[in-house]
Amino acid sequence: MNRMELDYYAVLNVPRDAPKEDITLAYRKLAIQLCPHRDPKYERDFVPNLGPTHMQPLSENRQWDYINIAYDVLGNDMYRAIYDRFGEAGLFQGIQLPNGYFPPYQYHGDNMKVYHDVFGSYSPYANIIDVVTNPPLLYSTLEHGIGVKKKDAPVEKIINIELEEVYKGCTKLMHVWRQEFIDTKETRTEKKKKTLKLQIQPGTTEGTRYCFKEEGDRSPTKIPADIIFITADKPHPVFERYHQHHLRYTHKISLKDALAGFSFTIKTLDKRNLKISISDVVHPNYTKVMPEEGLPICADISIAPDMKPTGAKKSRYGDLIIKFEVEFPKLMTHKMRALTKNFFKELQELENEAEEAPHPIHKLMKKKGNK
């Protein structure tokens, strides 16, 4: 990590061995005080005054951000286990575990989602306050009468991203057709096209969700659905994504090249010509790793930008892992077979001589002994 790590336990003011119930209770107490959407004139009789906290020097908005990401991690058993063992660095970078790979954690950024998940409502005193401060949306039509508007289920769409777009980042204009009101009374609708803009950051991982709140069909009796775009990698003719930010490349070679060495060139995702030279014998499990030639690693969400040291490296990349497929000759003459047998016979003799020869350190010790 390029910054000091944040202590999530200190943010919620709980010990590291605190049970989940205590962590939830600590979050509830802090959230009631810090939630920016509560109106103090309705809550002064209900919200306890907890006094100053250790985060008091920070702004309330910053404190609000901290407690939500802290609970998002510590309130999840898997995230908490990774954080306890590997710290914030392991959480954000991903960890290779014995039973699989734990992908990098990314906070979704929706503080009110955490708040709602804990309280079961966007208000901890919903029965008392919400009717006054946030009354439910009602509809009144001749066709449907009077009722409470309910929100439509989210609409999820898969968006395929090319690896070149993942490497550089891009902007996607997504066109969706939805029902829109065509009268001032909002009673009649018509299908129209709506354009939504997606900003794909360099290194975006597969499965990243982009939520456009209430951009679904308009209806007199319902709240529009959220439209969610989920990224997926489009198959690439040359490269394959591996463990989020690494790339795999398979190169076919002849048996001669596998034994004698060779060189070749790979055109990278950013159109560079990367020259690779192989002098080793390419055996069945042989791979060549080119550091920092993979996909960009998504920058960590700026939880504490004031804690980042100056001059910190901004971009990091995964590795390029090259695998080889050796193509064997399909035809050989008798003369070629004889030459091949002689070659491997001489090779075996050389290996036997190397095994029987004394180690250089033994020779040196023998010389000293003679002196």
Mark whether 338 and 323 lie in a shared domain: no
Which of the two residues, 365 and 77, has the higher pLDDT score?
77
Helix (H) or strand (E) holding 258: helix 255-260
- The percentage of residues in the chain with a pLDDT greater than 70, rounded to a whole number, is 81
The model's pLDDT over 86-116, given as tens digits with 9 standing for 90+, comes to: 888 888 888 877 777 778 888 888 888 888 8
Pick from 36-45, 147-156, 280-289: least confident = 36-45
CATH of the domain at 35: 1.10.287.110
Q: What is the mean pLDDT of residues 268-287?
A: 94
Q: Which of 44-58, 63-77, 352-366 has the highest mean pLDDT?
A: 63-77
pLDDT the model gives residue 333: 93
Question: Are both 6 and 106 inside the same structural domain?
Answer: yes
Instruction: Show the 3-state SS of the chain.
Output: CCCCCCCHHHHHCCCCCCCHHHHHHHHHHHHHHHCCCCCHHHHCCCCCCCCCCCCCCCCHHHHHHHHHHHHHHHCCHHHHHHHHHHHHHHHHHCEEECCEEECCCCCCCCHHHHHHHHHCCCCCCHHHHHHHHCCCCEEEECCCEEEECEECCCEEEEEEECHHHHHHCEEEEEEEEEEEECCCCCCCEEEEEEEEEEEECCCCCCCCEEEECCCCCCECCEECCCEEEEEEECCCCCEEEECCCEEEEEEEEEHHHHHHCEEEEEECCCCCEEEEEECCCCCCCCEEEECCCCCECCCCCCCCHHHCCCCCCCCCECCEEEEEEEECCCCCCHHHHHHHHHHHHHHHHHHHHHHHCCCHHHHHHHHHHHC
Both 270 and 325 in one domain: the answer is yes
Which one of 114, 135, 156 terminates a domain? Answer: 135
User: What is the spatial distance between Cα 246 and Cα 358, in angstroms, rounded to a whole number?
Assistant: 43
- Say if residue 244 is in the same domain as residue 177: no
pLDDT for position 52: 54
pLDDT at 117: 85
- What are the percentages of helix, strand and coil residues in the chain, rounded to 5? 35, 25, 40
Q: What pLDDT is recorded for position 307?
A: 42
The reply to whether 10 and 128 lie within a common domain is yes
What is the three-class DSSP state of 173? strand
Query: Are 22 and 118 found together in one domain?
Result: yes
Q: Please say whether the dihedral angle defined by the alpha carbons of residues 239, 242, 244 and 247, taken in this order, is positive or negative.
A: negative
pTM of the model: 0.57
Q: Are residues 71 and 187 in the same domain?
A: no
Assess whether pLDDT exceeds 50 at residue 170.
Answer: yes
Q: Tell me, yes or no, whether 178 and 279 share the same domain.
A: no
Domain shared by 130 and 166, yes or no: no
Question: Based on the domain organization, do 2 and 14 belong to the same domain?
Answer: yes
CATH number of the domain enclosing 163 = 2.60.260.20
Task: Reply yes or no on whether the pLDDT at 371 is more than 80.
Answer: no
- Three-class DSSP category at 168: helix
Per-residue pLDDT at 134: 58
Higher pLDDT: 220 or 359? It is 220
Q: Which pLDDT band, with edges at 50, 70 and 90, does 33 fall under?
A: confident
Q: Residue 313 above 60 pLDDT? A: no
Q: Which domain holds residue 201?
A: 136-234
Helix, strand or coil for residue 124? coil
14 and 115 together in one domain: yes
Same domain, 20 and 105: yes
Number of domains forming the structure of the chain: 4
Contact 138, 146 (CB under 8 A): yes
